Amino acid sequence: MVIHSSSNSYKIILGEQIRFALSDFLSKDYSSVFVITDEKVAALYLADIIGNFSSKKVYESIIPHGEQSKSIESFYKLQTEAITNGLDRNSLIIALGGGVVGDLAGFIAATFMRGIDYIQIPTTILAHDSSVGGKVAINHELGKNLIGSFYPPVAVIYDIDTLKSLGEREVRSGYAEIVKEALIADESMFNTLLMTNICSVSNEQLQEHLAYGINVKANIVEADEKESGIRKYLNLGHTLAHALESELGYGALTHGEAVAIGLLFSLHVSEDVFQHPLPFQELYTWLSDNGYPTSLHAWNVDSLISKMKSDKKTVNKKIQMVLLKEIGKPTTKEIDDLSMKAYLVSFIRKLVNQ
Ligand SMILES: NC(=O)c1ccc[n+]([C@@H]2O[C@H](COP(=O)([O-])OP(=O)(O)OC[C@H]3O[C@@H](n4cnc5c(N)ncnc54)[C@H](O)[C@@H]3O)[C@@H](O)[C@H]2O)c1
Ligand SMILES: O=C(O)C(=O)C[C@@H](O)[C@H](O)[C@H](O)COP(=O)(O)O
Ligand SMILES: [Zn+2]
């Protein structure tokens, strides 16, 4: 599949063992290569990637795994390494890992010498979403992804063999974004997913779900790369999810776990706003059957609302949520603070009473 963005067109290649054949997908002769990965992924796949570049200068940097690495400190450290390694404008950065590595390494590529090429080599299910579309960013203590850019990669090389080493928590996290894509795009896939036990999913099913998710995402980002309109729909569930991630401390919930709760919340609000029943209960049951954390601890509602205001969809301090008129019919809606407070309180009550 090829994605056409404002600055380039890039391929998304999905396959088995393709991490050993990177030169098949690179069209330029780079002066050097800088692989950025995390400690878990490095132990599993870094040698495979480096093996592709025997005749080139290859540098590597291994960051601690987890959301806390999407920080200004990691950003500065990696920029320093890029400079001291002598990277130039003809160097290539490789983001080898999940969404944390992808977002961080992509932002390094976007800003080093005002922008050099990078490729995404996603290694998590969740990264079917993060590696496509060119959103790159780091977190601020006050909010998720607040410092970043739109900067597409030159290729996405998705070796699905690497997904076999993922733990259950990461499988869950990735599936939350696939459920999101189904909710914004079509009911039949959503119903199929609700019949899937994600911890015993077959290879073929997983490939089908990944291809589906990438297709939904690719169509949206091609139509609205910089999020002036329909790209906002990919943010379904994220207004609350990002606030929770920041409020509870980055890494306390995985991004997908937070998105799962955020999706439930968007169904809760949508049902009230559009006075139309949505499958809140069905999604809740599926999430708990599949081991997502759905029982809540004390949330500070006022603090969450203030975090929700740093969402990138906010205009004039008014929160905009992505809601569903029906499955497959997303829209955006401004929610005032009083209503938001009431929705959060009733949502918490609903979850506690499950
Ligand atoms: N840019 C975007 O459009 C976009 C979209 C969705 C999410 N995101 C971002 O992505 C991040 C979450 O990504 P993630 O869930 O991939 O998290 P992650 O990158 O932290 O990876 C999750 C965990 O899995 C480990 N891991 C990665 N690949 C592995 C493998 N093949 N085998 C075993 N372990 C492996 C990692 O070391 C880490 O501990 C969040 O920061 C989120 O904001 C960005
Ligand atoms: O690609 C998009 O657009 C998305 O919203 C995808 C989300 O899954 C992803 O978490 C994204 O990073 C959120 O973007 P943000 O602009 O709200 O930071
Ligand atoms: Zn997301």
pTM: 0.97
Ligand 2 lining (C-beta closer than 6 Å): 129, 133, 135, 144-145, 177, 227, 231, 234-235, 238, 312
Q: Are 87 and 116 in contact (CB under 8 A)?
A: yes
Cα of 280 from ligand 2 centre, angstroms:
22
Ligand 1 lining (C-beta closer than 6 Å): 38, 40-41, 44, 65-67, 70, 97-101, 103, 123-124, 126-127, 129-130, 133, 135, 145, 162-163, 165-166, 170, 173, 177, 254-256
Cα of 289 from ligand 1 centre, angstroms:
23
**Whole-angstrom distance, CA of residue 240 vs CA of residue 236:** 9
Instruction: Please tell me whether residues 178 and 99 are part of one structural domain.
Output: no
Cα of 92 from ligand 2 centre, angstroms:
24
- Number of Cβ within a 10 Å radius of residue 89: 11
**Whole-angstrom distance, CA of residue 85 vs CA of residue 73:** 18
Report pLDDT for 248: 92
**Whole-angstrom distance, CA of residue 265 vs CA of residue 124:** 25
Q: Are 168 and 122 in contact (CB under 8 A)?
A: no
Domain boundary among 165, 195, 211: 165
Residues 117, 32, 61: CA angle, nearest 5 degrees: 85
CATH code of the domain in which 27 resides: 3.40.50.1970
Report pLDDT for 7: 85
Domain boundary among 141, 165, 189: 165
Domain boundary among 165, 194, 218: 165
Cα of 139 from ligand 2 centre, angstroms:
12
78 by DSSP, 3-state: which?
helix
CATH code of the domain in which 197 resides: 1.20.1090.10
Is 99 known to sit in a ligand binding site?
Answer: yes
pLDDT band of 199, cuts 50, 70, 90: confident
Is 124 known to sit in a ligand binding site?
Answer: yes
Instruction: Please tell me whether residues 48 and 120 are part of one structural domain.
Output: yes
Instruction: Please tell me whether residues 119 and 192 are part of one structural domain.
Output: no
pLDDT band of 11, cuts 50, 70, 90: very high
Span 272-312, pLDDT tens digits: 999 999 999 999 999 999 999 997 767 899 999 999 999 99
Instruction: Please tell me whether residues 155 and 235 are part of one structural domain.
Output: no
Instruction: Please tell me whether residues 283 and 269 are part of one structural domain.
Output: yes
Look at residue 215 and tell me whether its pLDDT is greater than 90.
yes
Cα of 240 from ligand 3 centre, angstroms:
11
Is 285 known to sit in a ligand binding site?
Answer: no
Is 57 known to sit in a ligand binding site?
Answer: no
Question: Which atom of ligand 1 is the closest one to the Cα of 40?
Answer: 37
Report pLDDT for 278: 98
Instruction: Please tell me whether residues 260 and 215 are part of one structural domain.
Output: yes
Give the total number of structural domains in the chain. 2
User: Domain span at residue 8?
Assistant: 2-165
**Whole-angstrom distance, CA of residue 345 vs CA of residue 251:** 24
The pick from 129, 221, 253 for probing ligand 2's pocket by mutation, whose C-beta has the most ligand atoms within 8 angstroms, reads 129
Instruction: Please tell me whether residues 106 and 214 are part of one structural domain.
Output: no
Q: Are 103 and 135 in contact (CB under 8 A)?
A: yes
Instruction: Please tell me whether residues 151 and 224 are part of one structural domain.
Output: no
Cα of 235 from ligand 2 centre, angstroms:
6
156 by DSSP, 3-state: which?
strand
Report pLDDT for 57: 96
Is 332 known to sit in a ligand binding site?
Answer: no
Q: Is the ipTM of this complex over 0.90?
A: yes
Instruction: Please tell me whether residues 124 and 97 are part of one structural domain.
Output: yes
Instruction: Please tell me whether residues 116 and 262 are part of one structural domain.
Output: no
Instruction: Please tell me whether residues 149 and 172 are part of one structural domain.
Output: no
**Whole-angstrom distance, CA of residue 63 vs CA of residue 4:** 31
Instruction: Please tell me whether residues 236 and 160 are part of one structural domain.
Output: no
Is 164 known to sit in a ligand binding site?
Answer: no
